[in-house]
Structure 1
Amino acid sequence: MTFVTTSLGGTASDITVGKVAHGLMLMTWRTEPVPDEQCFEAIKAGVDALPPGAKMFINGGRSRASDIQIWRTETWLKGTRLLASFTLLHHAKELLIWITRPAGVRRSVELINEKLRGTKRLDLYECARIDPKVPLEESIRALVELKKEGKLDHIGMSECSADSLRRGNAIHPIAAVEIEVSPWSYEEEGKKVIATAEELGIAVIAYSPLGRGFLTGQIKRPEDLPEGDFRRTLPRFQEDNIKHNFAIVDALTAIAERKNVTSAQLSIAWVGSLGKHVIPLPGSSHPKRTLENCAGGDVGLSTEDLAEINSVIDSAEIRGTRYAHKALLWG
């Protein structure tokens, strides 16, 4: 089994990666982290299925534990076929605080490099959000300086608007932009970011292509999520909203069954169909699920399939916002 590939953008346009990336956040950002050996096997399954010369794009998520996880994985796999992205996020008093000031970015980059212990370079770095109190240009210039110092290879952006992406790219070529994209999260600004990224030659890392697991059909009530799972705090995962929103799951499942693929593969295939530069970023902590997700990048969708899926998406009335807070979305 060999999976389809694509490339990143900007200064990383010569790097070939699997069409489907691998997210680590739910391996580490949970009450009981997944055992290392299980994580390694889940990642290795995808790496081994890539053709020679291609790398697995791994996103470190928004957890300091993910930095360590990437180092451990790199060491275990001998570091030959991983390309890792790191994001910056801190938690304090239950509030999300994004440190995008130059000094904060430098501290984060240096800490990540320290955790990697020389086993690999910091491949691609992105601030998790755009802080309205800090000019975007300052944050990007700080990353450019760190790149000149040899502390990272490529620069990315995350949860930004199309206008912000254009501004950031004017300072330095952006290799990838990370935004949420799935059949139940396909917002107007997201469409603009995807179009702008294509115009500028930037890869789109589409996180949560499975709606944080909801579109697989396995989450029918809040109790289906582990205790302490952050999804329990999200508006879309409140009981009444889950019941209402399950209509889109039923509709997509019916299409998937007719195509003899899983609901997860259908969602991943649809996200990937938004452009050669769009790379779905699901997460997995099981080898079988990793291979299932990667196979989603190989699922072909006909014009009729896309029309039917788009009709489902356009007619769906999704209840509940993506996050409980909205202030720093589409920065």
Structure 2
Amino acid sequence: MVNATTKLGGTASDIVVAKVAHGLMSMSWVPKPVSDEQAFEAIKAGIDTLPAGVKMILNSAQFYGPGMSTHNLEIVSRFFEKYPEYAERTFLMVKGGHNPDKLGLDNSAANLRRSVDICLAALRGKKAIDCFQPARIDKAVTIEDTVRTLAALKDEGKFAHIGLSECAAATVRRAHAVHPIAVVEIEVSPTSYEEETKKVIATCAELDIAITGYSPLGHGLLTGNYNSTADIDPKDVRAHLSRFQEENLRHNLVIAEAIKSLAAKKGCTPAQLCIGWVASLGDKVIPLPGSARKERNLENLVGGDVILTEEEKAEMAHILATHPVKGGRYGDDDSNLWG
């Protein structure tokens, strides 16, 4: 049974959720999407760990499928078609704003409306969208206009709450001034803890907004499961990430080994240690690891109950200070990621 819980923010501040969320991307945005049977088992197992009244955050997107398709949302739809009683036990976050015509981001009012409708069509009424988020901040549209569009769609009953993703602290503040924001999704891990990350966390704490920290395991880098680039499928998205390139990976595996040693002393897995570390960054900071297998999801959820001592936090800080991560979160220069 999962013990650690928290509440969301904004218009969702009365909703109690597990301290660790479940990202669904790896079920479909991979070289070979998993079977419904495997996906359903993983989703259901996580929900089954929760006590009554606590919801599991499920994180999906308009484009988490081959060819930027709605494949992932279709898995979600089929899950709730089979298990309708689980709909009220989950909080479904959906990222959108993808324009299929432009093959890219478009947060114009017309495209956000189309994006939401595409997502709703894929879900087929089997599960409501609890929180809709533009996947990135479109610099061609002011954040104020973006949030006004989202507020109008929310008022029409398209979804219940507004979220943001990959946004700077100043953007969060401007958005929240237009309409309360329930959740902000940013990358947070021991190797992705930039100055702007810290500012976003502090701003959200001030405004009582929850944070879902995606990739708390550094896209798998910190799990201890990789020894070289030979362990990465060439079709896997990680094969293109800066930190997984040969020279960078050799450097970064030293960090992974140090975290593995610390986890062994702690009596938990490296994944659980990293998830516990992210969870320790704030009462409403919710680690968002992805998993496509039941056993991995259950392992991740236990990470929310891992409490690091001050000495262990200091040791983690020492590891990262003496051996800083090499490479950016995606490319070599991530300065344009913060919207």
Matched, 1:67 2:67: no
For 1:276, the equivalent position in structure 2 comes to 283
In the aligned structure 2, how far is the partner of 1:225 from the partner of 1:44? Answer: 28
For 1:81, the equivalent position in structure 2 comes to 89
Sequence identity (%): 49
Q: Considering only aligned residues, what root-mean-square deviation do their CA atoms show, in Å?
A: 1.6
- Unpaired runs of at least 5, structure 1: none
For 2:162, the equivalent position in structure 1 comes to 155
In the aligned structure 1, how far is the partner of 2:25 from the partner of 2:72? Answer: 7
Matched, 1:216 2:223: yes
Secondary structure of the residue that 2:286 maps to in structure 1? strand
Distance 1:151 1:132, change over 3 A: same
**Per-residue deviation, residues 107-146 of structure 1 (Å, max 9, x unmatched):** 0111111222122221100001111111111111110000
Structure 1 residue 162: Cα displacement: 0.2
Structure 1 residue 192: Cα displacement: 0.2
Secondary structure of the residue that 1:29 maps to in structure 2? coil
For 2:67, the equivalent position in structure 1 comes to none
In the aligned structure 2, how far is the partner of 1:110 from the partner of 1:89? Answer: 11
Contact 2:186 2:212 in 1 (8 A): yes
Number of residue equivalences: 330
For 1:310, the equivalent position in structure 2 comes to 317
Matched, 1:300 2:307: yes
In the aligned structure 2, how far is the partner of 1:276 from the partner of 1:73? Answer: 30
Secondary structure of the residue that 2:222 maps to in structure 1? helix
In the aligned structure 1, how far is the partner of 2:292 from the partner of 2:273? Answer: 20
Structure 1 residue 89: Cα displacement: 5.2
Amino acid at match of 1:76: K
Secondary structure of the residue that 2:88 maps to in structure 1? coil
Contact 2:18 2:55 in 1 (8 A): yes
Matched, 1:230 2:244: no
TM-score (norm 2): 0.94
For 1:4, the equivalent position in structure 2 comes to 4
In the aligned structure 1, how far is the partner of 2:103 from the partner of 2:239? Answer: 16
Which 4+ stretches in 1 moved above 3 angstroms?
A: 89-93, 325-328
TM-score (norm 1): 0.96
For 1:112, the equivalent position in structure 2 comes to 119
Secondary structure of the residue that 1:210 maps to in structure 2? coil
Kindly report which structure 2 residues correspond to 1:28-43, keeping only aligned pairs within 5 A, or say none. 28-43=28-43
Amino acid at match of 1:172: H
Contact 2:97 2:107 in 1 (8 A): no
Amino acid at match of 2:74: I
Deviates more, 1:65-74 or 1:276-285: 65-74
Kindly report which structure 2 residues correspond to 1:87-166, keeping only aligned pairs within 5 A, or say none. 87-88=95-96, 90=98, 97-166=104-173
In the aligned structure 2, how far is the partner of 1:142 from the partner of 1:229? Answer: 35
